[in-house]
Amino acid sequence: MAKARSPVTRNSCTVFFLIIAIWNNTQPSEETGSSAILSNHFLNKVPKNLPAETTVLDLSQNNISELQISDFSSILRLQVLNLSRNVIRELDFSVFQYNGNLEHLDLSHNRLQTLSCHAMLSLLRLDLTYNSYTDMPICSKTDMPKLQYLGLSAKRLQGSDLSALGHLQLDTLFLSLEDLSEYKAASITVFNIKTIQIVFHPRRDFHILTDLELSGTESLELFNIHDEQVSELRMFLLKLSRSGRLLNLTLNKMQSSWEDFIDVLQAAWGTTVEHLVISNAAWMDATNKNNFNHTKTSLKSLEIKDTVIVTIKADPQYMYRIFSEMNITALTISGAKLIHMLCPSKPSHFTYLCFSYNTLTDTVFENCNNLTLLETLILSGNQLTRLMKMSLMARHMKSLKHLDLSHNLLQHEVHEKRCQWGENLVELNLSSNVLSDSVFHCLPVNIQKLDLQNNQISSIPNMAVELRALQELNLASNRLTDLPGCGQFRSLRLLNTETNSIFTPTSQFYQTCQSIREVKAEHNPFMCSCEIREFIDIRKQGLVVLVGWPESYLCEYPEDIRGLQLQDFHVSELVCNTTLLVAVVLVITVVLAAIISFLCIYLDIPWYLKMMWQWTQVKHRIWKNNPEEVFDNMEFHAFISYSKHDSDWVKNVLIPNLEKEDGSIRICQHERNFIAGKSIVENIIDCIEKSYRSIFVLSPNFVQSEWCHYELYFAHHKLFQENNNSLILLLLEPIPPYIIPAKYYKLKALMAKRTYLEWPTEKSKQGLFWANLRAAIHIRLPENE
Ligand SMILES: *[C@@H]1O[C@H](CO)[C@@H](O)[C@H](O)[C@H]1NC(C)=O
Ligand SMILES: *[C@@H]1O[C@H](CO)[C@@H](O)[C@H](O)[C@H]1NC(C)=O
């Protein structure tokens, strides 16, 4: 459920509880609980009506001064309660008597003066530091049987108080003595607390360390160790050397001279301590007065962090020598402004060395043959410049597996001497340097994990060394414009190319990267076009995990879809696949051609088209010749000439169809309109002259038998002249060209030049034929007879 709220009205509360009721119903069995974060809410009191299932309640940084049983009696599932930084003055633990599940209670930074114990059977962590009580409030083990962590502070301390704490059998005791003003010395033996953290007064020394004796403690962390305490610390360590089980010692904020530090270190050398951490210290002028005795020690690792070691007057070699000759396995000196480190003078025990964030240069461990056991070397954040020199350094470290050279100024030039890395180097961190493409000519052959992020790499050169073992390659934050192929890295499983300049990943990647399992390519300026689909598809195949998909993969170009997730970018296969496009166009063309051929063959479309064309031609001609013009001397619309073999068709089909209905078309037929006393020829010529058009019914018969008869008449008339529109050729039967005798060249020319009307045998086409014919001879003749 959401945050709890302060009560507003009765109604809103009813609704609120109703919601809880519903919510509880829908979450039947699960013990989910909820958090109420009310930190920094200007509260004076613990709010009423907190959701009953609240398990975490943060009331820190408010103004709460009092606690009551009723404040918590309705939130029975409470586990974590933070009341830090309020103004509570007194506390009776019985206010929590109903909170049988309370595990963490933070009451630090209040004004507690008195405290009354009460059974807190489930409490694991209790923080009472930075309050106003003078004596340490200590409840008994029976009140808090499960307590693991206790934070206390005190103004007045008696040795016996600490001994009493021993009976609590804690895991961790945090003791803040920053405000201590009174200390009653007594021998203190602390039993059975695994980890003890003590913050001393920053200026005063109460000699607590002198009295302190540990039994069963494994880790001790001391804060604020100033000059006066150092000799005490040394005594304490010397005492430890004889007894105890202390394994880890941490010294925070240690102010001392270099000599004192060496004394402390020497004392620690003889103890049971295995891990020593010193942080936030400062030593100026390491002098060479002391001699450090590297005798046998339990110490395994020494860590010096954020500690400035500066030598101005003394010989720095002496200081380096103390560290380099240490017979321990792990040494860290980081953030210490070290400018150099010596090679051990004899084969050393070091397996782990970390000198990060110093100012070491390329000469570090040059020609150093004595780090033969070294497996991990961390030199990040220094002033290293030449990768080739680093390779020569690493070559001498026969066991070196992990090398971290990140955050330096490393470069490599192609023409430089050949790089020679050790055989065993499997992990190399070269991130945040100034390396360019040429780095691929200077890599250890057996490398498995390579970090090259944040460099200036734009591509992987083809001639680069083959890295058969490489499994993880990090090229994030470089200048890549394409996903690299895996030609040289057969075993690559993880590739990181986020935050580069990759527009369109090309297919080289998919072809060569067979073993790849995980790709990170977020935050690249992807160009959303056809080519990107292949990249999107690699996910679908399920072999490769794209880390950060889909929210971190966005189209950058084209601009109109900038910000669109790659996942939502779709483009059709047809648009992208030219072969497919061509195929589709071809198929459509073929189908269309087939349909057209089908129509042509079965429906004779060309015939219709031809007829329509002729019809429009005729209409056009009529319109051009002013159809209203009346031909005065014309009696007939048309004269028909035909072979006697075709006379049946002419008489029974042609004439009835032309003359039908209103008789608006008059035909001159030389037999029918015969004028006695004139010869046939004269009659025919007479007929032709009185007719506006002459229709010739052409057929093989006509051509062979009748043509010659007519040719003569036509010769007189201008029937054959070019632009004579009066001639209509009507093809009753097809005439094969060879039938036409050669001498009838005029007929041939006519048939070739003029379009003729073909008589269609199909009934369906005949309507159009007649319409066409009628249009061709349609003309207004004077009304006579
Ligand atoms: C309680 O709140 C303070 C201040 O907000 C915070 O520093 C502290 O870590 C919190 N304690 C726990 C146990 O969460
Ligand atoms: C390499 O070093 C950088 C910076 O020190 C770090 O963030 C990164 O995790 C390291 N890479 C590997 C593979 O450990």
User: Measured on CA atoms in the order 40, 43, 45, 49, is the torsion positive or negative?
Assistant: negative
Ligand 2 in reach of 131 Cβ (< 6 A):
no
How big is the chain by its Cα radius of gyration, in Å?
54
Ligand 1 in reach of 41 Cβ (< 6 A):
no
Ligand 1 atom at minimum distance from 82 CA: 1
Q: Whose CA is nearest to atom 10 of ligand 1?
A: 82
Q: Whose CA is nearest to atom 1 of ligand 1?
A: 82
Q: Whose CA is nearest to atom 13 of ligand 2?
A: 451
The CA dihedral of 239, 241, 242, 243, to the nearest 10 degrees, is 90
Cα 118 from Cα 96, distance rounded (Å): 9
What number is the average pLDDT over the span 660-669? 74
Residue 645 or residue 425, greater confidence: 425
pLDDT-derived band at 712, boundaries 50, 70, 90: low
Q: Which two tokens stand for residue 534?
A: 């292949």
Least confident interval from 28-42, 57-71, 120-134, 688-702 = 28-42
Ligand nearest 378 Cα, by number? Answer: 2
- pLDDT value at residue 570: 87
Cα 527 from Cα 670, distance rounded (Å): 85
Q: Which two tokens stand for residue 191?
A: 């039993």
Q: How far is the CA of 115 from the centre of ligand 1 (A)?
A: 21
CATH hierarchy code of domain 458-571: 3.80.10.10
Q: Which two tokens stand for residue 169?
A: 């059998």
Ligand nearest 448 Cα, by number? Answer: 2
Cα 311 from Cα 108, distance rounded (Å): 42
Give the domain ranges of the chain.
1-217, 458-571, 576-603, 620-777
Residue 10 or residue 35, greater confidence: 35
Q: Which two tokens stand for residue 615?
A: 């019809």
Ligand 2 in reach of 453 Cβ (< 6 A):
no
Residues of the chain with pLDDT > 70, as a percent, come to: 88
* Burial grade of 338 (CB within 10 A; 0-12, 13-18, 19 or more): buried
Q: How far is the CA of 450 from the centre of ligand 2 (A)?
A: 10
Q: How far is the CA of 736 from the centre of ligand 1 (A)?
A: 111
Q: How far is the CA of 354 from the centre of ligand 2 (A)?
A: 14
Q: How far is the CA of 431 from the centre of ligand 2 (A)?
A: 7
Cβ-contact 443, 430 below 8 angstroms: no
- pLDDT value at residue 19: 37
Ligand 1 in reach of 706 Cβ (< 6 A):
no
Cα 424 from Cα 429, distance rounded (Å): 15
Q: Whose CA is nearest to atom 2 of ligand 2?
A: 406
What number is the average pLDDT over the span 290-297? 82
Q: How far is the CA of 105 from the centre of ligand 1 (A)?
A: 10
Q: Is the peptide bond before 550 cis (omega within 30 degrees of 0)?
A: yes
Best CA proximity match to 38, nearest among 26, 28, 27, 51: 51
- pLDDT value at residue 124: 96
Ligand nearest 127 Cα, by number? Answer: 1
Express each pLDDT in 381-431 by its tens digit.
Answer: 999 999 999 999 999 999 999 999 999 999 999 888 889 898 899 999 999
pLDDT-derived band at 103, boundaries 50, 70, 90: very high
Q: Whose CA is nearest to atom 13 of ligand 1?
A: 106
1-217 and 620-777 share one fold = no
Cα 773 from Cα 719, distance rounded (Å): 18
What number is the average pLDDT over the span 563-588? 87
Best CA proximity match to 191, nearest among 169, 158, 159, 220: 169
DSSP for residue 600: H
Q: How far is the CA of 283 from the centre of ligand 2 (A)?
A: 30
- pLDDT value at residue 485: 83
Q: Which CATH architecture has domain 620-777?
A: 3-Layer(aba) Sandwich (3.40)
Q: How far is the CA of 157 from the centre of ligand 1 (A)?
A: 26
Q: 783 CB contacts (<8 Å, ≥6 apart)?
A: none
Cα 102 from Cα 121, distance rounded (Å): 8
What number is the average pLDDT over the span 479-497? 89
Q: What value, to the nearest 5°, has the Cα angle with vertex 114 and ends 109 and 119?
A: 95
Ligand 2 in reach of 431 Cβ (< 6 A):
yes
Ligand 2 in reach of 380 Cβ (< 6 A):
yes
Ligand nearest 431 Cα, by number? Answer: 2
Ligand 2 atom at minimum distance from 380 CA: 5
φ and ψ at residue 269, rounded to 5 degrees: -55, -35
- pLDDT value at residue 710: 65
To test the ligand 2 pocket, which listed residue (379, 380, 382, 406) has its Cβ within 8 A of the most ligand atoms?
Answer: 406
Q: How far is the CA of 164 from the centre of ligand 1 (A)?
A: 27
CB neighbour burial string for 88-124, b if at least 16 within 10 angstroms, e if fewer: beebebebbebbebbbbbbbbbbebeebeeebbebbb
pLDDT-derived band at 248, boundaries 50, 70, 90: very high
Cα 484 from Cα 519, distance rounded (Å): 11
- pLDDT value at residue 29: 31
Ligand 2 atom at minimum distance from 381 CA: 5
Cα 728 from Cα 737, distance rounded (Å): 19
Of 71-85, 202-216, 227-241, 285-299, the range with the highest mean pLDDT is 71-85
Residue 161 or residue 9, greater confidence: 161
Ligand 1 atom at minimum distance from 40 CA: 5
pLDDT over 70 at 21, yes or no: no
Ligand 1 in reach of 106 Cβ (< 6 A):
yes
Cα 97 from Cα 95, distance rounded (Å): 6
pLDDT-derived band at 20, boundaries 50, 70, 90: very low
Ligand nearest 84 Cα, by number? Answer: 1
What is the assigned CATH class of domain 1-217?
alpha beta
Ligand 1 in reach of 61 Cβ (< 6 A):
yes
Least confident interval from 190-199, 400-409, 620-629 = 620-629
The DSSP bridge partners found for residue 305 are 279, 334
Q: How far is the CA of 176 from the centre of ligand 1 (A)?
A: 17
Ligand 1 in reach of 104 Cβ (< 6 A):
yes
- pLDDT value at residue 289: 61
Q: How far is the CA of 470 from the centre of ligand 2 (A)?
A: 16
Using the structure block, give the residue that is written with the tokens 């020690």.
297
Ligand nearest 408 Cα, by number? Answer: 2
Ligand 2 in reach of 451 Cβ (< 6 A):
yes
Q: How far is the CA of 405 from the centre of ligand 2 (A)?
A: 9
- pLDDT value at residue 662: 65
**Average pLDDT over the chain, rounded to whole?**
83
What number is the average pLDDT over the span 465-479? 93
- pLDDT value at residue 535: 83
Q: How far is the CA of 427 from the centre of ligand 2 (A)?
A: 11
Express each pLDDT in 310-359 by its tens digit.
Answer: 766 777 788 888 899 999 999 999 998 889 999 999 999 999 999 999 99
Ligand 2 in reach of 496 Cβ (< 6 A):
no
Q: Whose CA is nearest to atom 14 of ligand 2?
A: 429
Ligand nearest 39 Cα, by number? Answer: 1
Q: Whose CA is nearest to atom 4 of ligand 2?
A: 406
Using the structure block, give the residue that is written with the tokens 């050729």.
729
